Structures are given as structure tokens and as C-alpha cells.
Amino acid sequence: MEVGDIHVGKQLSCVYTPQGLNPTTAINPFGTGEKAVCGTGHFNGGVLVGSGKFFPPVHPTAAMMVTRPSIDENPLATAPGLVHVRNSPLTPPLPTDVVIGDPLGPVGVTMVCGTLTVEYGVEIDLGALKKSTIGLKKNTGVKADTGAKTSNGVESQAGAEARAGAKSFAGFGAIFGGTKTPFVAGKIFTGRSIGNKTFDIEHPTKSGWRLRHTCVEGPENAVFFRGKLDGENVINLPEYWKGLINHDTISVNLTAFGRRDTLYVKDIQEDRIIISGDHLTNVKCYYQVWADRSGEPLIVEYEGETPADYPGDSSSYSVAGHDYDVRS
């Protein structure tokens, strides 16, 4: 049957049922028969929007496939976009407006982008970290104007770590054409010594060998502790942290073990951190808690020739090649 227009006054159902079986018995979240919601449709198979010639013939790639219409096949189909989701102007944006996957049915996501533009501020729920509203920090991708805008490159790794919503840190680089390029290159300059801060000890398991590690470096005076939760949901902060760290800079990294869990930080109190997830208070995870030490913030970049030109208070710092380890 071929018709020009079809008006369905209630519900359009495209569902296979054996001959003689009432199709309204099919499961449909919008209801069926007399209980069906008007203006709804049910397609238990697949839907193709756009021209079929842009997908492999006979081999569908997804239950919902969207591509551009062919102007040759339909000259009047000239809409510029593929998918446009718009909220009601009277309704505030909600986390449930667009949902991709959930704890009962998590999904994988692959993005191959020519351009990626995010306008306005972006609220990112980092899961293990506290939720932070950040406009994403500028220059984390290639170009950031109003939020985070990446204009070229296949993938941009902003990696924005938010610490109690107070500040955010850019990630380590961006990938362009498969080559990872760090934003900051070179070694740490410590006075006249250009190198890494190192410790060197006798090897713990090999006789006649030694073991050398270098220190982690970062733009803050950070401290951390780590541990494990097994059946509980409270991380107790060390008592001495009250006089050591800036409480507003606390961040938490969580790694579930033994089972899948959607973990998040429910609350950060003066002496403890409350964790929750799919299993509520029965949490099984490893954790790391980081914070910046209290006192004068570290001045990361400053004008000068030597560490003596540091514009802040240097009394709490000891710089290799300047305060000690002066080598000819």
C-alpha cells in the first residue's frame, strides 16, 4: 500500500506479532490499546532517519540510525542539522534531559568529532570527585571561548579535575591525529640543578642492585592518604589534617572492587567523607584523598632569574641547587 499522508490519531505501533495475535499485547512503556498515550509510537525493530545509501545495505549498524537525507532523493529535505534537542524555555535544564546509559544498562560511547563546541557553563559530575560547576577552564583543548570549544583534532583530553568546585586544573595534553602533545614540556628548574627530585635506595629483592624513584610534581603543596572501604561508607580524615590542609581543596578518587558500582562523594564533613553508590552504605572501594596544604598558596610562575626572586614566602621551601645540593 502506498499513500501520500497518514494521520494516526493515537499511537503508531510497528511491532511483529504472529498472525491472529492481538498486537496490543506487546510491551510498550507508553501503554497499548485503550491505555496508550496519544501521540506516541513503538518500533520493535529499528528506525532509519535519512538516506539509506549512507549506511551499509542489508547490515544495520544500530536500532536507531540517523544520517542526512539525500537531496537527490528528496530535494525539499534541506534541514542543516542531524539531531536537535531543545528544552522548553519555561523549564530549567535537568540532569535527566538527555540520558545515555544508566546503572542498570551502562553503555560505551565512541565520538569521532570534526568539531566539538560546548556553550555556556558546564556542570560535570565526575563521579568519584565532587560535582563541580566549571565553565571549563580556558585553553584545556585547542580553543576555549565560552566553556570548552575544541575546533580541530580527533580527541581533546581536558581531564579537568575539580577540587571542591573552587578551582580546576587542565589535563596533560591533547591528541591530534594520534600524537599526544603535552602542554608543558621540559624538566623542573630547581636553582642551578635541572632534573628530577629523586630517592635512591638498596633494591629490596635483588642483591647488588639499587632502586631509584622520582617524586610526583604538581602546581600545589598537595598531601594525600589512601585506604580501602569494605562494607562501610565513611572515610575518616586524619586528625592532624584539621591544622594541616585547606578543607575546601579536598578531592576524592574512588575505585570499586569486586562488583560494578556507581560511586560518588555524598558529603565532605569536618572530620569525615561520606560515600554512596548503587549499594548505599555497603561500599567496596579503594580511595585516595588529596588536599592542598593550608597557608600561602604556591606561586607557580613568577618573573626572575633564580629561586631567590620568588615573590612569596620562601621560608617553608627548600630548593635543590639553591638551598642545598649545590654542585660545581
- 233-271 per-position pLDDT tens digit: 999 999 999 889 999 999 999 999 999 999 999 999 999
* Residue at a domain's end among 130, 156, 182: 182
Query: Does residue 316 sit within a domain?
Result: no
CB of 272 closer than 8 Å to CB of 265: no
Residue 164 forms part of a structural domain: yes
Residue 40's SS3 state is strand
Residues 176 and 227 in one domain: no
Last residue of a domain, one of 31, 47, 66: 66
Q: Long-range CB contacts (< 8 A, 24+ apart) of 194-198?
A: 195/320, 197/320
DSSP 180: E
For residue 305, give the 3-state DSSP assignment.
coil
Give 232-294 as a DSSP string. --EEEPPGGGGGTB-GGG-EEEEEE-SS----EEEEE-SSEEEEE-TTTT--EEEEEEEEEBS
In 3D space, the residue among 138, 111, 135, 137 whose CA is nearest the CA of residue 123 turns out to be: 135
Residue 28 falls within a domain, yes or no? yes
Residue 61 grid cell: 549498524
In a domain, 240, yes or no: yes
Residue 206 pLDDT: 92
If asked whether residues 236 and 288 sit together in one domain, one would say: yes
Question: Is residue 263 packed enough to be buried (19+ CB in 10 Å), middle (13-18) or exposed (0-12)?
Answer: buried
Its domain, for residue 149, covers: 116-182
176 and 230 belong to one structural domain: no
Within this chain, do residues 226 and 287 fall inside the same structural domain, yes or no? yes
User: What is residue 122's predicted lDDT score, i.e. its pLDDT?
Assistant: 56
With respect to residue 134, please indicate whether it lies within any of the assigned structural domains.
yes
Residue closest to 166 by CA, chosen among 131, 141, 138, 140: 131
The amino acid sitting at 85 is V
pTM exceeding the 0.95 threshold for the entire prediction = no
Residue 232 belongs to some domain of the structure: yes
Do both 178 and 229 map to the same domain? no
The total of structural domains in the chain comes to 3
Q: CA 138 → CA 149, 212, 275, distances in Å? A: 9, 37, 31
The low-confidence residues of the chain, meaning pLDDT below 70, are: 19-26, 119-195, 325-328
Domain boundary among 155, 182, 209: 182
Establish if 31 belongs to a structural domain: yes
Query: Do 211 and 282 touch, CB atoms closer than 8 A?
Result: no
Between the alpha carbon of residue 284 and those of residues 100, 195, 227, 258, 268, the distances in Å are: 25, 40, 11, 7, 18
User: Does the residue 1 lie in any domain?
Assistant: no
